[in-house]
Structure 1
Amino acid sequence: MSFTYSPLPSHAILTRLDELTDVLIDCVEGGASVSFMLPLSREQAAGFWQQVALDVAASSRTLLVCEDAQGRIVGTVQLVTGQPDNQPHRADVSKLLVHRRARRQGIAQALMEQLEEAARTAGKTLLVLDTATGSGAETFYRQAGWQHCGDIPGYALMPDGKPCGTTIFYKTL
């Protein structure tokens, strides 16, 4: 199957809220620790994407998406470039999401490669992210060359309410 990757401007985020909401809800229902609890309503998920659209419009965030051959969004990742004045070289990676029906096809890796290129273009030389300790995402980031710098136990809750730690990673570009 072929996929296309591109940044999504703020106006397009608003016109594609249903697709983005579907991806977020699917990932949370699949157990992804991405700041939301079960059950995640469509209204709450859409509200999240509306805020992302505002941040994209303010140039403090970039949303990259993956579309399948039918043009449906099946994956996303965000580059948060709005940082304090003393950190102009740094950006955060947020919400790497791949719909369960599209997993195991290299989408996460390709999205991260696109994100790194967007970061370089924006003049960023250091990326930081966190993920649930012991998750498949933690393994993915280690294999993708991210540097582990620590774990914080009991940092957050999984969507089902169970506590989990977070693992912090960085990557120098």
Structure 2
Amino acid sequence: MTIDLSLFTAEDISHELPELAKLLHDCVHAGASIGFIMPHSMEDAEGFWRDKVAGPVASGTRLLLVAKDGARIAGAVQLDYDTPANQPHRAEIRKLLVHPDFRRQGIAKRLMATIEDEARRLRRSLLTLDTRTGDTAEPLYAAIGYHTTGVIPGYCRDTHKDRLDSTTIMYKNL
């Protein structure tokens, strides 16, 4: 297996919309807490990429880094650098996704290392993110140098269950 990483343009998003939707759809169905709840359709997933991501990518305020195994999308992460004038040094990591079939192969670490390099290229020295407290991503972020600033209880609905989950807010200085 050879995983290639590349930055996607808005045109790439349009061209790869079915594969991106499958990535998101399958991650949500596997329980990922990334802003969606069940039921979650392929149309919902396509709408996210088309309506929420393609515009900021096209306008130059967000990067989308995608990991591919041949024609199949294995993972993705976004860097949102649409910040106020008093925060030109900061960016936010959004929606680190690794398809369930590709987990535990180092893809998340590669995506994060590469998106951090892109942040440096954009002269961003502080990255922030949030993750569901106790989720498998939380120790990954800690292992690659992110620090916890706090936990917000009852932050979001669970993907599958009728309950509220906490979120952990993290940061990393580059």
Query: If the length of structure 1 is used for normalisation, what is the TM-score?
Result: 0.97
Structure 2 distance, partners of 1:5, 1:131, is 23
Identity %: 47
- Counterpart position of 1:100: 100
Report the count of equivalent residues: 172
1:39-74 CA deviation, whole Å, 9 max, x = no partner?
A: 111111111101201110011100000001x23111
Structure 1 distance, partners of 2:122, 2:163, is 37
Structure 2 distance, partners of 1:44, 1:26, is 12
- Displaced runs of 4+ in structure 1, greater than 3 A? none
Q: Deviation at 1:163?
A: 1.1
Secondary structure of 1:31's aligned partner: coil
Matched AA of 1:145: G
Matched AA of 2:123: G
- Counterpart position of 2:134: 134
Structure 1 distance, partners of 2:43, 2:86, is 36
RMSD in angstroms over aligned alpha carbons?
Answer: 0.8
Query: If the length of structure 2 is used for normalisation, what is the TM-score?
Result: 0.97
- What residue ranges of structure 2 are gaps of 5+ in the alignment? none
Secondary structure of 1:145's aligned partner: coil
- Counterpart position of 1:168: 169
- Counterpart position of 1:59: 60
Secondary structure of 1:123's aligned partner: coil
Report 1:111-150 matches (<5 A).
Answer: 111-150=111-150
Matched AA of 2:173: T
Structure 2 distance, partners of 1:132, 1:49, is 21
Secondary structure of 1:92's aligned partner: strand
Structure 1 distance, partners of 2:163, 2:7, is 34
1:114-154 CA deviation, whole Å, 9 max, x = no partner?
A: 10000000110000000000110111111111111100011
Q: Deviation at 1:85?
A: 1.0
Q: Deviation at 1:101?
A: 0.4
Secondary structure of 2:88's aligned partner: coil
Secondary structure of 2:86's aligned partner: coil
Secondary structure of 1:32's aligned partner: coil
- What residue ranges of structure 1 are gaps of 5+ in the alignment? none
Q: Deviation at 1:162?
A: 2.3
Secondary structure of 2:66's aligned partner: strand
